[in-house]
């Protein structure tokens, strides 16, 4: 269906069924209604925090379907699988059932879906592995180890210990820059190493190809390349999708914006976002994508959604006052019709310990007033800022949970179990085999490299390994045990149909149970004698999740693309209990609490000392996100004694506090509040 046909159907439906439009008028505000029902070819919903932009996007999709647009002609792009899941649930509830055929998911999941369909054109087989960050770092370590004779100590320190190699390569790929351009722009101290980094990047690509693997960046880059290098494939999807809807457009990087461009013109384009909440430049998000949207698409209709449903008018007023200082932005002004509340507090303390004491005293007051700990959060720019607070919480026995710790899927025992499944699914996955081999006694990296090289040169695969070919002299028993386990797993998978996507949803969970029974339980007991029970519960949880999948490939892909299923930190272990939330501001985006404390608002810390050289606007956007997480109570705190923790020296109250008009807040001295003066 051409875009024009879609627009015609919209007009027809408006005349044919006013009952649906009446429902939309009841359930949406004026701006949301205009967004959901617009006939415009290109639409940008400029939506502030708490304005219901996800709601508006879901109603937009429902309206298209109600107008007769076939669901299979709608592409809905999000940034997290959690967001995609919520949209699917809301859309299903709105329409009475989930519209079969609609494509809804993250950019990366849609990219993986398309690449598996056209894997050979992208230089892979359809069972390719998706590498996580640990896998990529492991490959980099192998590459540099192989070149160790040619690297001096400074080179190894620079690119391994500081972790620069992966970031330079990823930055170049996501920004469509050369390695030379990235290093000239951001790493001028290392320009002499440009040829070395370029060589390492080539070897990294070679390793991925040999392992039939893509990393996260590849899911976008190879998707874009597929459309550009094979126009017939691109045209196939351009004709399929008459309507493309994009959530959180301010978080797109240059490659993602280019992917959206592939559909623009052939399809109706509808995006929602907020430039004031663009805070992921460190992940290569490019705020210019949304700032330039009206210029890039001159025909675009910009609809501002400015009513905030989350916060009190006082909190909204403070947020508005802060963000006005940003130099470049798409102007809007939030307003709230919620009941009035108390003004936000700006607290001055002598030091971090006094700040922590004040915060805990106020949390106690809020809890006595009826709030639960689950309704309260303490946010900060960097994790070290929570140190004093965490010590105080432990001393007082107050339960808390943190966001930003080691993620579930990054824990060593979970990665071990997943390595068995990856080696089974993709026998060419060298990283999975390496991890498994190093679990066996008598097998080290050098032995494995020789073994794997022999297998690769002979063209042998899992079958050859299991049959006993190329066994190393040392570690024979461990290698044979590993191969027997994989043979048993393969037989179980074949019998249950799990590899081909059978309908026995216990089959993937059964593979995990078999891994434990065959060999890994003994490894787990030996490796973690004091943590065995805790880690076993983690593996059991993995198996519980696996029971929802009939296909091993689908299970592995869901984990690679949706780590939010297993959110990190203490929250994983004590979910369900009444506990205070401690979180970085970046991790808090998309969440809300009745009461929010933002601590460590000191120059050099928040804004970061790097903001002198980077974008101060982004730091202010981060502050804006922090304050708009609060519904009814907001407290901003600073201290004036110099802090030299972690090599940083803070210089008194944050610039963002100094910018606030005095009528927006109530000043408090922590000492007076603590001692009742």
Give the span between the Cα atoms of 669 and 276, in whole angstroms: 30
- Report the candidate in 332, 293, 261, 310 with the shortest Cα–Cα distance to residue 51: 310
Is 176 considered catalytic here?
no
Crossing angle for the helix pair 412-425 and 507-515, nearest 10 degrees?
A: 120
Give the span between the Cα atoms of 654 and 425, in whole angstroms: 52
Phi-psi region of 115 (alpha: psi -120 to 50; beta: other; left: phi over 0): alpha
**Which of 32, 37, 41, 54 is labelled catalytic?**
54
Q: How many CB atoms lie within 10 A of CB 500?
A: 12
**Which of 247, 251, 603, 617 is labelled catalytic?**
247
Give the span between the Cα atoms of 541 and 114, in whole angstroms: 30
Give the ranges where 324-386 is alpha helix by DSSP (H).
352-368
Is 247 considered catalytic here?
yes
Give the span between the Cα atoms of 314 and 335, in whole angstroms: 10
- Residue 641 sits at the vertex; the CA angle it makes with 640 and 644, to the nearest 5 degrees, is 125
Given a contact cutoff of 8 angstroms between Cβ atoms, the answer to whether 213 and 129 are in contact is yes
Given a contact cutoff of 8 angstroms between Cβ atoms, the answer to whether 442 and 477 are in contact is yes
**Which of 629, 631, 632, 638 is labelled catalytic?**
629
Is 72 considered catalytic here?
no
Give the span between the Cα atoms of 110 and 350, in whole angstroms: 51
**Which of 132, 135, 248, 355 is labelled catalytic?**
248
Give the span between the Cα atoms of 331 and 320, in whole angstroms: 10
**Which of 32, 37, 53, 312 is labelled catalytic?**
53
Q: How many CB atoms lie within 10 A of CB 490?
A: 18
Helix H or strand E segment including 21: helix 18-27
C-alpha 629, offset from chain centre: 18
Q: Which residue has the tokens 């001393």?
A: 395
Is 54 considered catalytic here?
yes
Give the span between the Cα atoms of 511 and 53, in whole angstroms: 41
Which tokens in the block code for residue 313?
């008018």
- Residue 92 sits at the vertex; the CA angle it makes with 87 and 98, to the nearest 5 degrees, is 110
Give the span between the Cα atoms of 56 and 401, in whole angstroms: 32
For residues 353, 359, 365 and 369, what is the CA-based torsion angle, rounded to 10 degrees?
Answer: -160
Is 248 considered catalytic here?
yes
Summary count for the chain: helices (H), strands (E) = 33, 15
* DSSP labels, 580-643: EEEEEHHHHTT--EEEEEE---BTBTTTBGGGGTS-HHHHHHHHHHHHTTEEEEEEEEEE-S--
**Which of 277, 312, 402, 581 is labelled catalytic?**
277
Is 53 considered catalytic here?
yes
Which tokens in the block code for residue 11?
């007009």
Q: Annotated active-site positions, please?
A: 53-54, 247-248, 277, 629
């Amino acid at each position: 269906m051409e875009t024009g046909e879609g627009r015609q159907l919209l007009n027809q439906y408006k005349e044919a069924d006013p009952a649906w439009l009446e429902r939309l008028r009841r359930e949406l505000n004026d701006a949301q209604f205009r967004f959901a029902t617009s006939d415009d070819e290109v639409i940008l919903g400029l939506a502030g925090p708490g304005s219901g932009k996800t709601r508006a996007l879901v109603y937009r999709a429902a309206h298209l379907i109600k107008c007769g647009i076939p669901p299979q002609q709608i592409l809905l792009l999000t940034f997290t699988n959690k967001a995609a899941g919520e949209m699917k649930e809301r859309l299903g509830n709105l329409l009475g059932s989930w519209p079969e055929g609609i494509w809804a998911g993250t950019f990366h999941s849609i990219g993986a879906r398309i690449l598996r369909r056209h894997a050979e054109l992208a230089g892979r087989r359809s069972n390719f592995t998706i590498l996580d960050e640990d896998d990529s770092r492991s490959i980099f370590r192998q590459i540099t180890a192989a070149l160790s004779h040619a690297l001096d100590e400074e080179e190894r320190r620079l690119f391994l210990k500081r972790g620069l190699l992966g970031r330079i390569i990823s930055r170049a790929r996501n920004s469509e820059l050369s390695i030379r351009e990235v290093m000239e722009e951001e790493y001028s101290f290392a320009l002499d190493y440009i040829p070395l980094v370029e060589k390492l990047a080539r070897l990294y690509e070679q390793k991925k190809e040999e392992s039939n693997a893509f990393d996260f960046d590849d899911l976008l880059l190879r998707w874009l390349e597929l459309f550009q290098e094979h126009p017939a494939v691109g045209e196939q999807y351009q004709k399929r999708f008459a309507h493309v809807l994009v959530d959180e457009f301010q978080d797109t990087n240059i490659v993602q914006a280019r992917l959206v461009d592939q559909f623009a013109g052939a399809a109706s384009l509808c995006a929602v976002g907020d430039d004031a909440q663009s805070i992921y430049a460190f992940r290569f998000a490019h705020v210019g994508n949304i700032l330039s949207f009206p210029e890039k698409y001159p025909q675009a209709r910009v609809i501002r959604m400015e009513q905030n449903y989350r916060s009190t008018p006082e909190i909204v007023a403070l947020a508005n006052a802060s963000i006005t200082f940003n130099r470049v932005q798409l102007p809007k002004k939030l307003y709230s019709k919620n009941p009035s509340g108390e003004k936000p507090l700006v607290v001055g303390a002598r030091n971090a310990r006094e700040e922590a004491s004040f915060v805990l005293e106020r949390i106690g007051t809020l809890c006595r007033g009826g709030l639960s700990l689950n309704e309260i959060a303490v946010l900060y720019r960097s994790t070290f800022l929570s140190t004093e607070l965490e010590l105080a919480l432990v001393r007082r026995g107050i339960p808390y949970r943190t966001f930003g710790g080691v993620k579930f899927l990054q824990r060593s025992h979970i990665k071990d179990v997943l390595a068995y499944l990856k080696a089974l699914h993709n026998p060419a996955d060298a990283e999975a085999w390496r991890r498994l081999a190093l679990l066996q006694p008598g097998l080290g990296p050098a032995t494995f490299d020789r073994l794997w090289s022999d297998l690769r040169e002979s063209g042998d695969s899992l079958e050859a390994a299991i049959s006993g070919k190329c066994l190393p002299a040392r570690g024979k028993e461990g290698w044979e045990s590993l191969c027997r386990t994989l043979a048993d797993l393969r037989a179980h998978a074949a019998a249950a149909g799990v590899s081909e996507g059978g309908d026995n949803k216990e089959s993937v969970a059964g593979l995990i149970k078999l891994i434990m029974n065959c060999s890994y339980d003994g490894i787990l007991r030996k490796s973690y004698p004091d943590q065995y029970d805790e880690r076993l519960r983690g593996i059991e949880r993995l198996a519980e999740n696996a029971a929802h999948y009939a296909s091993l490939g689908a299970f592995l892909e869901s984990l690679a693309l949706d780590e939010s299923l297993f959110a990190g930190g203490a929250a994983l272990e004590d979910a369900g209990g009444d506990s205070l939330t401690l979180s970085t501001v970046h991790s808090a985006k998309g969440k809300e609490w009745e009461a929010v404390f933002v601590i460590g608002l000191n120059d050099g810390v928040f804004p970061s000392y790097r903001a002198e050289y980077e974008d101060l606007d982004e730091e202010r956007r981060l502050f804006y996100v922090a304050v708009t997480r609060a519904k009814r109570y907001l407290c901003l705190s600073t201290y004036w004694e110099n802090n030299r923790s972690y090599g940083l020296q803070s210089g008194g109250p944050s610039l963002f506090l100094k910018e606030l008009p005095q009528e927006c807040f109530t000043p408090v001295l922590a000492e007076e509040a603590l001692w009742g003066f």
